[in-house]
């Protein structure tokens, strides 16, 4: 196989050009008449931006000014010199075309495409010519194309403005309740000419597993089973007769060889890899990965090869009916894993800006907060291979949705065949990854069918059930039988139970945020929460980099461009409930107070939910927060904003996703109990000190209780609190602290009243600060003299590059905390220790 790459970095002397291929609005006429340099892989918006032809689509309200881009056809043109080698067959291979492309080589149409989510291959042997060639790929306007597809198929229920459900293009590119409407076009993945003879490896699936489920008893000295590699190889032949070729699979020093007759469509080669160590999710063991090479050759001449890495593990779902409903647990190597997850959305609205480093950085945000699962949500993409590679290495399980979200999808042609082909390709590409734990049919579509009033509009037409219940499970069973399948998220794994019933399978909780207060998380006992979330604004510097309303206002014009959720900023305000005061109307500080209070409330809501869900373990087997990341600067449910700045939520999640969690929850009679959840492999032993304290100066101990404690690995334990300690006659001025003095102390708090009633000293008497310059920034030390609640530092207010290492710290008198500030020099040290940079609850409720 010989590869002739057509990407921009390979064809440097003969560059790609981009031009409009249909009329553009008069004010953009300059773009209509000229070709600009294009980048491949790349996309129209980023090319136009690089050429200075359009302003930043994320800034202000440029999003609406640039809507015409999605209603314009675009052409990519490349002239290139090519010389034939010895091979006879030449394929034009595009790993990703977004989306409605017509491909013309040297004046002849090669083919048309209509699916962003798959690879396309065209035999161009008779069209390529030695010397100069011209390739033109013209993309039909994506918004118009979706409308035309909908007109042909008939309109079906869909969640947002454009009919993304009529086409196979990333749904969220048409806008979402956190994402801009920037549907574009482009050659978004590598493109090349593959020249070959005899045979090529059309698909390689090295399925690494273990021959016996339940192997985790290995830790108790039981045989762990034999690691197996079952490599499935599909072959594409140019010849039907002739001498056999050789297929080899190499793994861990073994080479397995098969002699294969021409025309054989498929070969499977099994290897026992007896010495291989098992792959585990982080926190449960190591992540050993083994290189695999597959080669096709004839007379020692290599015709084609495939390289990858595998990890040996089993994954299964425990869906056993029990007295609480239907369990939902992911078992790896037979061991139940308590899932601490995040939902992942495409990490940039312009996908081609992402690279190996950006993937690693964003996934590390999940990892560093303690997560062991990422769910790739169905309105996005089958992710870049970088994504799964990083997850393999870190021990982060991947839950992969098939690409259907929040809509009814027709099962008519051409969609059915496109879905089948895209799924075959995605399953094949991802099947090698040790981290791949769940294939999931769709996001919320079964729920939608049952509950969202779709049926009258469907009027008997198909809505996607055939994909979720027939096609996709059949393909997973055929191509990746070692990975379990769930028909949807949420799903109860029973046709006659509501798909979002908390007692069965997975559930999404969205009444909290949309309708009700976050304390309602406690109204159910979910088995696994695969989506729940609460919004908050991005970091101040991120927000103000794109929102320029004067003065800044939560309901300002540009502010609301950067808030996509229905009534989002009203819900932020309502969501404060009784928990925090509403922000002041003093014009100078109103927006600062809004920003701090809504960010804090977001963090509180999720902390509240996760502490409760974990206290239910093992009835509850995990949570998956909506959402880790953003695809532009926006007010959203994300924990980390588009500029990579951690919101207060991220720090709250790091605390509640710790392996060892201590929480106080209402017991049966409403008075607090202490619950410890030890999600680690070692017993958690030490002294639990429960104190009732004054919120005032000195944090005086009013009552205390000491308990010697041992919590077994992967278990939780509830400790009753002595009524003399756990009750208060002076609830506004007292609170409870539970402190588990083990190797690393873990602390939990309980308040008898909400913050507006809590008596806290104001910042200037509650704590003292010291700033020390360091080699790479500052140390900001805060020393408490009375209770300081939810202390947080926002150095990006002074310099957008400045970062801190911690947030949402609660201190009692005598305790101190040091924030490490990095990434900036020359900061105003006085500003570093006052509001709006250093914040706490004390400065919004005291007085």
Q: Which residue has the tokens 């305000």?
A: 573
Choose between 122 and 510: whose C-beta lies nearer to ligand BMA.
510
Q: Which stretch binds ligand BMA (CB under 6 A): 173-181, 261-269, 295-303, 330-338?
A: 173-181
Choose between 227 and 379: whose C-beta lies nearer to ligand BMA.
379
Report the nearest approach of ligand BMA to the CB of residue 66 (Å).
Answer: 22
Distance CA 639, CA 721 (A): 33
Report the nearest approach of ligand BMA to the CB of residue 522 (Å).
Answer: 21
Q: Can you point out the beta strands (E) in 515-554?
A: 528-532
Choose between 480 and 531: whose C-beta lies nearer to ligand BMA.
531
Choose between 68 and 510: whose C-beta lies nearer to ligand BMA.
510
One DSSP character per residue, 708-772 reads EEEE-TTEEEEEEPPHHHH--S-GGGEEEEEEEESSS-EEEEEESS-GGGS----HHHHEEEEEE
- Residue 450: closest CA among 403, 495, 402, 503: 495
Report the nearest approach of ligand BMA to the CB of residue 626 (Å).
Answer: 6
642 binds ligand BMA (CB under 6 A): no
Tokens for 743? Answer: 């190797």
Report the nearest approach of ligand BMA to the CB of residue 755 (Å).
Answer: 26
Secondary structure letter of residue 275 according to DSSP:
T
Choose between 100 and 637: whose C-beta lies nearer to ligand BMA.
637
Report the nearest approach of ligand BMA to the CB of residue 664 (Å).
Answer: 29
Distance CA 586, CA 602 (A): 23
Report the nearest approach of ligand BMA to the CB of residue 301 (Å).
Answer: 51
Residues with Cβ within 8 Å of residue 630, at least 6 apart in sequence: 178, 345, 538, 636, 638, 640, 641, 642
Choose between 422 and 531: whose C-beta lies nearer to ligand BMA.
531
626 binds ligand BMA (CB under 6 A): yes
Q: Are 315 and 482 in contact (CB under 8 A)?
A: yes
Choose between 209 and 440: whose C-beta lies nearer to ligand BMA.
440
Q: Which residues of 279-296 are buried (b: 16+ CB within 10 A; e: fewer)?
A: bbbbebbebbbbebebbb
Report the nearest approach of ligand BMA to the CB of residue 538 (Å).
Answer: 16
Choose between 370 and 379: whose C-beta lies nearer to ligand BMA.
379
Q: Reading across the β-sheet that carries 89-94, which strands appear in turn? A: 2-5, 191-196, 89-94, 120-123
For the window 528-547, what string marks contact with ligand BMA as x by the rule CB under 6 A?
A: ---x----------------
Report the nearest approach of ligand BMA to the CB of residue 605 (Å).
Answer: 14
- The binder of ligand BMA chosen from 16, 58, 80, 178 (CB under 6 A): 178
Distance CA 21, CA 43 (A): 15
Tokens for 106? Answer: 């040297």
Query: Do you find a cis peptide bond into 618, omega within 30 degrees of 0?
Result: yes
Report the nearest approach of ligand BMA to the CB of residue 174 (Å).
Answer: 13
Choose between 442 and 716: whose C-beta lies nearer to ligand BMA.
442
Choose between 416 and 510: whose C-beta lies nearer to ligand BMA.
510
406 binds ligand BMA (CB under 6 A): yes
Per DSSP, the three-state class of 541 is: helix
352 binds ligand BMA (CB under 6 A): no
139 binds ligand BMA (CB under 6 A): no
Task: Give Cα 783 to chain centroid, integer Å.
Answer: 37
Identify residues 240-279 at the interface with ligand BMA (CB under 6 A). none
For the window 356-385, what string marks contact with ligand BMA as x by the rule CB under 6 A?
A: -----------------------x------
- Residue 533: closest CA among 596, 623, 600: 623
One DSSP character per residue, 333-353 reads TTEEE-EEEEEE--SSSSGGG
Report the nearest approach of ligand BMA to the CB of residue 158 (Å).
Answer: 12
Distance CA 482, CA 467 (A): 20
Per DSSP, the three-state class of 60 is: coil
Q: Are 282 and 367 in contact (CB under 8 A)?
A: yes
Q: Which stretch binds ligand BMA (CB under 6 A): 100-108, 170-178, 290-298, 580-588?
A: 170-178
Residues with Cβ within 8 Å of residue 433, at least 6 apart in sequence: 311, 388, 389, 391, 392, 398
Choose between 47 and 630: whose C-beta lies nearer to ligand BMA.
630
177 binds ligand BMA (CB under 6 A): yes
Q: Are 657 and 369 in contact (CB under 8 A)?
A: yes
Residue 357 sits at φ, ψ, to 5 deg, of -65, -40
Residues with Cβ within 8 Å of residue 349, at least 6 apart in sequence: 57, 58, 172, 173, 179, 180, 182, 631, 632
Sign of CA dihedral 693, 694, 695, 700: negative
For the window 428-467, what string marks contact with ligand BMA as x by the rule CB under 6 A?
A: ---------------xx-----------------------
Size of the site for ligand BMA (CB under 6 A): 11
One DSSP character per residue, 594-658 reads HHHHHHHHHHHHHHHHHHHHHHTTTTS-EEEES-S--SSS--BS-SB-TTSPBPHHHHHHHHHTS
Task: Give Cα 629 to chain centroid, integer Å.
Answer: 7
For the window 732-761, what string marks contact with ligand BMA as x by the rule CB under 6 A?
A: ------------------------------
Residue 203 sits at φ, ψ, to 5 deg, of -155, 140
Report the nearest approach of ligand BMA to the CB of residue 467 (Å).
Answer: 17
For the window 584-623, what string marks contact with ligand BMA as x by the rule CB under 6 A?
A: ----------------------------------------
- The binder of ligand BMA chosen from 80, 100, 160, 176 (CB under 6 A): 176
- Residue 632: closest CA among 175, 135, 274, 316: 175
Report the nearest approach of ligand BMA to the CB of residue 180 (Å).
Answer: 13
Strand partners, 74: 20, 139
Choose between 389 and 489: whose C-beta lies nearer to ligand BMA.
489
3-state helix, strand, coil in the chain (%, to 5): 25, 35, 45
- Residue 534: closest CA among 521, 522, 547, 523: 521
Report the nearest approach of ligand BMA to the CB of residue 277 (Å).
Answer: 37
Strand partners, 194: 3, 91
Report the nearest approach of ligand BMA to the CB of residue 171 (Å).
Answer: 9
Report the nearest approach of ligand BMA to the CB of residue 623 (Å).
Answer: 15
Q: Which stretch binds ligand BMA (CB under 6 A): 175-183, 215-223, 257-265, 800-808?
A: 175-183
Q: Which stretch binds ligand BMA (CB under 6 A): 172-180, 416-424, 521-529, 795-803?
A: 172-180
Choose between 407 and 674: whose C-beta lies nearer to ligand BMA.
407
For the window 501-520, what string marks contact with ligand BMA as x by the rule CB under 6 A?
A: ---------x----------
Q: Which stretch binds ligand BMA (CB under 6 A): 174-182, 278-286, 810-818, 832-840?
A: 174-182
342 binds ligand BMA (CB under 6 A): no
Task: Give Cα 289 to chain centroid, integer Å.
Answer: 23
Identify residues 386-405 at the interface with ligand BMA (CB under 6 A). 405
Report the nearest approach of ligand BMA to the CB of residue 636 (Å).
Answer: 8
Choose between 196 and 626: whose C-beta lies nearer to ligand BMA.
626
Residues forming contacts to ligand BMA in the complex (CB under 6 A) are 176-178, 379, 405-406, 443-444, 510, 531, 626
């Amino acid at each position: 196989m010989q590869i002739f790459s057509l990407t921009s970095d390979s064809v440097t002397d003969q560059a790609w050009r981009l031009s409009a291929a249909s009329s553009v609005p008069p004010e953009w006429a300059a773009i209509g008449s000229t070709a600009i340099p294009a980048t491949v892989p790349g996309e129209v918006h980023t090319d136009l931006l690089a050429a200075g032809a359009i302003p930043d689509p994320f800034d202000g309200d440029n999003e609406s000014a640039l809507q015409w881009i999605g209603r314009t056809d675009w052409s990519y043109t490349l002239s290139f010199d090519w010389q034939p080698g010895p091979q006879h067959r030449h394929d034009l291979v595009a790993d990703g075309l977004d989306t409605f492309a017509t491909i013309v080589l040297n004046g002849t149409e090669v083919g048309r495409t209509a699916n962003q989510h798959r690879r396309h291959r065209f035999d161009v042997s008779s069209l390529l010519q030695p010397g100069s060639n011209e390739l033109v790929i013209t993309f039909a306007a994506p918004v118009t194309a979706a409308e035309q597809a909908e007109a042909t198929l008939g309109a079906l229920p869909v969640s947002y403005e454009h009919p993304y459900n009529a086409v196979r293009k990333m749904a969220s590119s048409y806008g979402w309740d956190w994402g801009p409407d920037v549907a574009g076009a482009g050659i978004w993945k590598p493109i090349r000419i593959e020249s070959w003879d005899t045979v090529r490896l059309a698909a390689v699936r090295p399925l690494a597993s273990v021959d016996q489920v339940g192997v985790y008893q290995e830790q108790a000295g039981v045989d762990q089973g034999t690691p197996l590699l079952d490599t499935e190889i599909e072959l594409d032949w140019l010849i039907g007769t002739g001498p056999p070729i050789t297929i080899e699979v190499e793994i861990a020093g073994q080479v397995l060889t098969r002699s294969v007759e021409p025309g054989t469509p498929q070969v499977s080669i099994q290897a026992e890899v007896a010495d291989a160590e098992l792959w585990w999710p982080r926190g449960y063991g190591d992540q050993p990965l083994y290189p695999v090479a597959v080669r096709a050759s004839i007379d020692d001449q290599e015709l084609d090869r495939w390289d990858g890495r595998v990890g040996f593990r089993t994954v299964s779902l425990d869906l056993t009916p029990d007295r609480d409903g239907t369990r939902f647990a992911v078992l790896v190597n037979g061991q139940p894993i308590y899932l601490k997850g995040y939902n992942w959305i495409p990490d940039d609205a312009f996908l081609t800006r992402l690279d190996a480093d950006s993937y690693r950085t964003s996934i590390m945000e999940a990892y560093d907060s303690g997560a062991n699962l990422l769910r790739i949500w169905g309105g996005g993409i089958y992710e870049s291979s970088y994504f799964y590679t990083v997850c393999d290495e870190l021990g982060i399980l991947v839950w992969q949705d098939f690409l259907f979200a929040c809509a009814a999808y027709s099962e008519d042609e051409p969609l059915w065949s496109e879905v089948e082909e895209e799924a075959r390709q995605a399953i094949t590409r991802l099947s090698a990854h040790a981290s791949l734990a769940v294939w999931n049919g769709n996001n919320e579509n079964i729920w939608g069918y049952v509950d969202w009033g779709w049926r009258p509009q469907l009027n008997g037409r198909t809505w996607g059930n055939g994909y979720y219940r027939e096609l996709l499970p059949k393909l997973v069973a055929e191509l990746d039988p070692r990975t379990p399948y769930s028909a949807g998220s949420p799903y109860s794994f029973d046709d006659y139970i509501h798909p979002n019933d908390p007692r069965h399978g997975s559930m999404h909780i969205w009444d909290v945020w949309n309708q009700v207060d976050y304390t309602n998380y406690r109204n159910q006992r979910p088995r696994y929460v695969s989506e729940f979330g609460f919004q908050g604004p991005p970091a101040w510097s991120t927000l103000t980099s794109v929102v320029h309303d004067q003065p800044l206002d939560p309901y300002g014009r540009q502010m609301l461009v950067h808030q996509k959720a229905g009534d989002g900023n009203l819900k932020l305000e309502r969501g404060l409930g009784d928990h925090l005061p509403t922000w002041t109307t003093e014009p100078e500080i109103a927006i600062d107070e809004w920003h701090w209070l809504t960010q804090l409330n977001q963090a509180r809501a999720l902390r509240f939910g996760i502490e409760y869900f974990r206290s239910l373990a093992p009835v509850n087997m995990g949570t998956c927060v909506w959402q880790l990341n953003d695809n532009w600067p926006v007010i959203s449910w994300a924990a980390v904003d588009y500029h990579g700045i951690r919101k207060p939520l991220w720090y709250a999640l790091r605390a509640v996703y710790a392996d060892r969690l201590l929480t106080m929850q209402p017991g049966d009679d409403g008075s607090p109990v202490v619950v410890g959840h030890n999600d680690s492999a070692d017993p958690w032993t030490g002294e639990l000190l429960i104190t009732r304290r004054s919120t005032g100066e000195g944090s005086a101990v009013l009552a205390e209780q000491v308990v010697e404690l041992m919590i077994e690995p992967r278990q939780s334990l509830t400790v009753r609190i002595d009524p003399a300690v756990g009750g208060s006659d002076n609830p506004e001025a007292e609170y409870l602290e539970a402190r588990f003095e083990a190797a690393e102390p873990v602390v939990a708090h309980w308040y008898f009243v909400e913050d507006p009633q809590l008596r806290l000293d104001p910042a200037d008497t509650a704590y003292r600060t010291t700033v020390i310059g360091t080699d790479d920034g500052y140390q900001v030390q805060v020393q408490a003299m009375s209770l300081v609640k939810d202390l947080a530092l926002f150095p990006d207010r002074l310099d957008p590059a400045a970062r801190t290492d911690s947030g949402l710290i609660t201190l009692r008198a005598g305790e101190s905390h040091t924030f490490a500030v990095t990434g900036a020099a020359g900061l105003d040290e006085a500003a570093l220790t006052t509001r709006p940079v250093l914040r706490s609850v004390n400065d919004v409720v005291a007085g």
